[in-house]
Amino acid sequence: MNKILIINGPNLNLLGKREVEIYGGITLDEISESLINQAHEAQVELELFQSNHEGEIVEKIQKAPGDFKFIVINPAAFTHYSIAIRDAVASIDVPVVEIHLSNIYAREDFRKKSVIAPVCLGQISGFGPLSYKIALETAIEFLRK
Ligand code: DQA
């Protein structure tokens, strides 16, 4: 089965309430619903996982091979310093795409570096909720090949 895993990191559960001038008014549930529809239309299976805890994200990534063929991750703040998540991504043979709602290169200096992107297939940053849609489309195309 071509199952795709979407991981959302810390504070993304607050989307819609959190820094709306940067992240917009859309909630994570609304983003998730449109991704579920997109997956349904493409006849792929999707699992959505959100955690505010680094270790839970590491464990989810470690357990992914066997169950999932592709991972999309918005590591949120962990992007910029979690060597543990980077090492987990590097340790599996499942392709991973890193995504961000905001353009991390147009923000504070501490956000301009991702420690995770170098071990990913690629990165999508700055398109708001569309970043998720583009990443899922990428995953669907990748699995068709
Ligand atoms: C984010 C960007 C990160 O720098 C930030 O810590 C987030 C969200 C984004 O989607 O734009 O929580 O990953």
Pair of tokens at residue 115: 């420690």
CA 135–ligand 1 middle distance (angstroms): 16
CA 1–ligand 1 middle distance (angstroms): 31
CA 15–ligand 1 middle distance (angstroms): 11
Domain that holds residue 91: 3-144
pLDDT digits (tens, 9 = 90+) for 21-52: 999 999 999 999 999 999 999 999 999 999 99
| Residues in CB range of 20: below 8 A, 6 or more apart | none
pLDDT at 86: 99
Which of 104, 113, 123, 130 has the most ligand 1 atoms within 8 A of CB, as the residue to mutate? 104
Q: Terminus-to-terminus CA distance in the chain, angstroms? A: 14
Evaluate whether 14 touches 76 at the Cβ level (below 8 Å): no
Pair of tokens at residue 91: 């340790």
Rounded to the nearest 10 degrees, the angle between the axes of helix 54-63 and helix 83-91 is 0
Separation of alpha carbons 101 and 13, rounded Å: 13
pLDDT at 47: 98
Number of domains making up the chain: 1
Q: What CATH number has the domain bearing residue 131?
A: 3.40.50.9100
Plot region of 83 (φ>0 → left; ψ -120 to 50 → alpha; else → beta): alpha
Residue nearest to atom 8 of ligand 1 (CA): 76
pLDDT at 128: 97
| Residues in CB range of 88: below 8 A, 6 or more apart | 57, 58, 61, 62
pLDDT at 2: 78
Evaluate whether 29 touches 45 at the Cβ level (below 8 Å): no
For the chain, which ranges sit under pLDDT 70?
1
For the annotated catalytic residues, the residue numbers are 23, 100
pLDDT at 145: 87
Pocket of ligand 1 (CB under 6 A): 11, 74, 76-77, 79, 100-102, 104, 111
pLDDT at 140: 97
Separation of alpha carbons 77 and 60, rounded Å: 17
Q: Name the pTM for this structure.
A: 0.97
